[in-house]
Copies of this chain bind each other. A is one copy, B any other.
């Protein structure tokens, strides 16, 4: 549930480069992955969902409203207006794209409140995770707890979860109760994922298995992306099989995203990530490529385990980076990410056979996973 799930860390490019695929064909492109299409979808989502979010936050009592508006980037710490930075709205975009793919524009409109609810849940987990992880920066600004203290951060997170579920409880759409139940259950899974993550960080490097690291990443990152897609499908009155396929699509895309994000956390260009090279290694994070390397059975695995257990020295990072690479961590992560994306494509094809209707979903999936290292 950390920012690295889906929001770019400070300095990572907010704008993706357009695909090199030709855009000059006259017929609409049925292919899924058009960076421009994703950007447009995200902008449309922000335009449609922000008013719902602002109304919901506006209903909070004044002192908590101030903290919430700060977190969403709409106010500064002193209460003066600020200019956005509320995140890219990937999750609400997935809700709307899924509703649209399975039920057309009417379903998309009907799912607006649900899209805002999913975004509120995402943000509640960010605020609480930052408290637990003592993270000090989020979306290029100091985190809520550093500005307002732990108590206010906990309280505002609690209130954001309540707002999310109130939005759905007040939604007269027949899909709303099922969506609320799904979103609430997803919160439980997000909490379980964060629990495993914090517990895992305290364990010795050689005690962590790849299977549990993948399961943790699915719970922390995949679950809410899957829930977003499933909720959109519910608002399109989709059948159980379609809803399940949409959930699986979001989960696979989410895992692909996390794998790529972890690769960037080690091999990312500091000029683009805004973090020193190998920041995740310096912090001894048990990210997916690292655990893959640790459990590779190679000679470098043992060396890496020893080095990871030792205290941090500045000059280690380059050595650690090389060890993870030599132990196959990078190759594994990239292969896994491609594999997850392939599975995501299969799931979406199951729920939405018409590639044109599925275009928005695929564009968003490509968008979150196409990161330049």
Contact = CB atoms under 8 A, between A and B. Distances in A.
Interface in A115-173: 124-125, 128, 131-132, 150-152, 154-159, 161-163, 165-166, 168-170
A179 to B, nearest CB: 8
Residue of A64, A176, A189 ringed by the most chain B CB atoms within 10 A? A64
Interface of A: 59-61, 63-64, 124-125, 128, 131-132, 150-152, 154-159, 161-163, 165-166, 168-170, 176-178, 180-181, 184-185, 187-189, 191-192, 194-196, 198-199
A63 B161 contact: no
5 tightest A-B CB contacts, nearest first: A166-B184, A169-B180, A162-B187, A169-B181, A61-B192
A166 B191 contact: no
B165 A180 contact: yes
A154 B194 CA distance: 11
Contacts of A195: 61, 63-64, 151-152, 155
A159 B64 contact: no
B194 A165 contact: no
Contacts of A162: 161, 165, 184-185, 187-188, 191
A196 B63 contact: yes
A177 B170 CA distance: 7
A88 B92 CA distance: 41
Given A150-B132, A158-B191, A165 B184 contact: yes
Contacts of A180: 165-166, 169, 180
A128 B158 contact: yes
A188 to B, nearest CB: 5
B154 A131 contact: yes
Contacts of A159: 187-188, 191-192
A304 B151 CA distance: 28
A80 B340 CA distance: 40
B191 A156 contact: yes
A307 B25 CA distance: 81
B157 A158 contact: yes
Contact of A198 (B151, B158, B194, B199): B151
Nearest to A149: B198
22 contacts: A61-B195, A64-B188, A64-B191, A125-B158, A151-B195, A151-B198, A154-B154, A155-B194, A157-B158, A158-B187, A159-B191, A161-B187, A162-B188, A163-B188, A165-B169, A165-B184, A166-B184, A168-B169, A169-B177, A176-B177, A177-B177, A180-B180
A159 B184 CA distance: 8
Nearest to A179: B169
Nearest to A62: B192
Contacts of A128: 154-155, 158
A195 B156 CA distance: 9
